[in-house]
Structure 1
Amino acid sequence: MNQVPVGLVFPGQGTQKQGMGEPWRNTPSWELTAEVSAATGEDLSELLLHTSGEQLRRTDLAQLAVFTISLIAHAEAVRAEAFGGPVVACAGHSLGEYTALVAAGALTVGVGAALVATRGRAMREAASAREGTMGAVVAAPLAEVEALVGEMRAEGGEIWIANVNAPGQTVVSGSPDAIAELGERAPSIGGKLIRLQVGGAFHSPRMAPAAEALRDALLTMAFAPARLPVVANVDATPYTDDGRWAARCVRQLTSPVLWERSVRTLTGPLGCRRLVELGPGRSLAGMIRRIHPDADVLSVDSPAALPTRPVGER
């Protein structure tokens, strides 16, 4: 058997779709929907099986849906002993960081679900109070995108780097006018802007009211010592039990998601030779392969994606 160190990665908002729970509903881990429902007051079974795709675009519902499916995928992968090696670290993209903290033991399912519900509502309210949007700049180098965004801000534009996902893929966040202008100027740096169908300017200073609401909620909830290091979005550094995860979760709402650096932390200092994506879609696998073209990546987005024997077994 070829055992290799494994890192678990969890997707964020934007991977949700109508009926996303259907492939998982007959698995033993479907019972997690009841636990998340009890912690949040939302009917997760209804949300995952019957809620329309349009309704699932709502920030608070999208986040709960993706969080729950990712928890189920993780639980089923553990039950199937599907990783093919020891799990040595976790990371999650934006919302996915909360799933990573549950998987690492820093949060219980109930506390994690309650925080995700609070976060989603707060982000939705902040976005409703001040219109914003996001776009992905593809093909342009990060340094060129940063320079253009800095130039636009110096000219009075409200625009910020939101996600550094992979080489040639940088997400920006800001006012609709500023994002539209960046789309016009992106060809000057060899890039193209793809508008994202999101409800606000996430991971930017426009989420400051949401950060305050999340900070208040975190005062009543506790993090436990993590069993595994979790690589933080805000600085791409692995942490276990240093008592500062609450502050990082607050900061994450207004700071860029440093995903490319996080993946390099997993595959570099933490020694992960295989990365397993757990949850809906395969967006993280695509980013990881842009970062490491020869990466060993497994995406578990349905029970059918679980190997019939552990990955790497001969």
Structure 2
Amino acid sequence: MTTHLHESSDSSPRYAVLFPGQGVQRPGMGEPWRATESWELVESVSRASGFDVAELLLTADQETLSRTDHAQISVFTASLLAWSELRRRESDARVVAVAGHSLGEYTALVAAGVLSVADGAWLVGERGRAMAEVARRRPGAMAAVMGGDVDEVAALVDTFRQEGADLWVANHNSPQQTVIAGSRTAIDAAASRAADAGLRYSVLPVSAACHSPYMEPASAALRRALELTHFAAGVLPVVANVDARAHYGGSQWQELSTRQLVSRVRWVESLNTLHEELDCTAFLDIGPGGTLAGLARRALPGVPAHKFTAPAPLAVAA
């Protein structure tokens, strides 16, 4: 099914565009965009980041893409290609705000005009390398906990922390899905207690405890790169992961992006900010997967959520 982005000038939705993070990567995800005018962005991203992005998007296998640094630059570029094509094909669409989940926040900053493509690509490359190095030196783990609200999961986490375990709430993705991060021992131990509480539990296929204090060394390394980067005023508000508040451009993003690596992703709160404070009347998930459209529907069932995952003239998949 497809839905036109704008029916008329009087009834045009006010879109919040959402950009995905690491985890949505898949082999061949660049193929739909290869014949588009936007494909020229791939060379720019490759040059700025130091990765062969065309190879990652077209020929890399799942094992190659599962590496943190490869996954991040690949998802960033695929989402950027989708955004570029959306603006070409849907120039009348009323995009009034953007947000990105974790890594996706960098794509959102480029879309908002806060970062240039080159600076965004360089930062994503530095971020991915720093996180991969931390995961190598101090492996961690993550798990999705479903069936309970964030307060229930936070209480479970607090119980472990009182016992001295390394465990934290990492992402609040939907009203009934919270991701936790910490040591492998703590993540494995939490499974049985989650089951006892009637919660569903799924260990994620990652080797890092993202959005937790385990990422402090990566945060420090990224901070040095952020301090060398120009953050422009931008043309759209970006709702930040760390505080779920709308921010325009400027050097404040050095601090926000530094904190993001070690802080909870407040995704449900961010969706509420987009809808209630910025008056967005529809969500549009840009890039691979369509996961964020699903999360938006669960968080705000009355707000339409669409996805744009491949070139399609004047329409998006509903």
Instruction: Please give the range of the TM-score, normalised by the shorter of the 2 chains.
Output: over 0.9
Name the structure 1 match of 2:48.
39
Name the structure 1 match of 2:90.
81
AA partner of residue 24 (structure 1): W
Name the structure 2 match of 1:103.
111
Name the structure 1 match of 2:64.
55
**Higher mean C-alpha deviation, range 129-138 or range 290-299:** 290-299
- Tell me if the contact between 2:231 and 2:250 (Cα under 8 Å) persists in the aligned partners: no
Of 180, 188, 198 in structure 1, the residue corresponding to residue 188 of structure 2 is: 180
Question: Aligned Cα RMSD in Å?
Answer: 1.2
Unaligned runs of 5+ residues in structure 1 are none
Name the structure 2 match of 1:134.
142
Percent identity among equivalent residues? 49
AA partner of residue 110 (structure 1): A
| Cα shift at 1:43 | 1.1
Residues of 2 paired with 1:44 and 1:64: CA distance?
7
| Cα shift at 1:85 | 3.6
- Tell me if the contact between 1:89 and 1:266 (Cα under 8 Å) persists in the aligned partners: yes
Secondary structure (helix, strand or coil) at the match of 2:283 reads strand
For residues 285-306 of structure 1, give each alpha carbon's deviation from its aligned partner in whole angstroms, at most 9, with x where no partner exists.
Answer: 1100110123211101111xx3
In the alignment, is residue 5 of structure 1 matched against residue 10 of structure 2?
Answer: no
Name the structure 2 match of 1:170.
178
Residues of 1 paired with 2:281 and 2:302: CA distance?
11
AA partner of residue 246 (structure 2): P
Residues of 1 paired with 2:100 and 2:314: CA distance?
25
Secondary structure (helix, strand or coil) at the match of 2:82 reads helix
Residues of 1 paired with 2:234 and 2:39: CA distance?
24
In the alignment, is residue 29 of structure 1 matched against residue 22 of structure 2?
Answer: no
Unaligned runs of 5+ residues in structure 2 are 1-7
Residues of 2 paired with 1:159 and 1:225: CA distance?
37
Name the structure 2 match of 1:65.
74
Name the structure 1 match of 2:3.
none
- Tell me if the contact between 2:294 and 2:305 (Cα under 8 Å) persists in the aligned partners: no
Aligned residue pairs: how many? 307
Residues of 2 paired with 1:230 and 1:19: CA distance?
29
- Tell me if the contact between 2:19 and 2:286 (Cα under 8 Å) persists in the aligned partners: yes
TM-score by length of 1: 0.95
